[in-house]
Amino acid sequence: MTSIINLEISGEGTGLAELVDAVPSLTCEAEATIASSGHDLWLSGAPKAEIEAGVADASSIDDYALIDGAEGKWLYNVEFAPETIDVFELVLEEGGTILEASVPNGSWVLDIRVEDRSDASSIYDRLEDRELEPTIIRLFDTNGGARSQTGLTENQYETLVAAIDHGYFEIPRRVSMQELAEELDISHQALSERLRRAYRSLVTAELDVTTEEADSVRSPTLSD
């Protein structure tokens, strides 16, 4: 039975730790289709020059090339050095397919499809063996079975709690997004993306739909 496992792992040793250290506000998101010569990664959260300087200086990155970019977000093909842990290859070797991958706050957040739950266990064990500190956020079957958790990462949960505590959701708001971002010591863009991912996780869990089903639905624009 096909299942989806959503988990968070440490970014240390995976090829992005140096880059995140160099550009703390960096947001990274992987393209669904991974190029055979490397990985297609959307990088944002900082000026292009700062991101490229960090990429160029990272010893864990062998090569990179700009593919596309717009509105403060740039797509690069990145090749990691042989000694780094390639999360994508590791998952593939254990029979998994990465549907979504992002690196908020220096930790990988992955949505992985597996044909059997034993594959999910193998992936978890491999990640643990590499000391990547895997944390399962949720695991569910694609036949509509209930999720084991709401789907929020620890960072997303803490962000929503902080937003409530500071009055971000009140009308009128008692704190702006910029002020909330400063309170959490993250960039405005990182906060915006974290909130959107949190909303998405809560809504898909509440409506009991998979990520693929949510993507297939186009909702009309609603007014406040």
Per-residue confidence (pLDDT) for residue 70, from 0 to 100: 79
Per-residue confidence (pLDDT) for residue 64, from 0 to 100: 92
Q: Is the pTM of the predicted complex or chain greater than 0.75?
A: no
Element (H, E) at 107: strand 107-114
Q: Tokens for 8?
A: 């968070």
Q: Are 21 and 166 in contact, with CB atoms under 8 Å apart?
A: no
| Interatomic CA distance for residues 208 and 172, integer angstroms | 31
Per-residue confidence (pLDDT) for residue 220, from 0 to 100: 39
Q: Nearest Cα to 20, choosing from 46, 2, 49, 38?
A: 46
Q: Nearest Cα to 95, choosing from 30, 9, 2?
A: 2
pLDDT tens string, the chain, 224 residues long: the values are 688 888 888 878 787 778 888 888 888 887 755 445 678 888 988 999 999 999 999 888 899 999 988 778 999 998 888 888 888 888 888 988 888 877 777 788 888 888 887 888 889 899 889 888 888 888 777 764 444 445 666 677 788 888 888 888 888 888 899 999 999 999 988 888 888 887 777 766 555 544 445 455 444 333 33
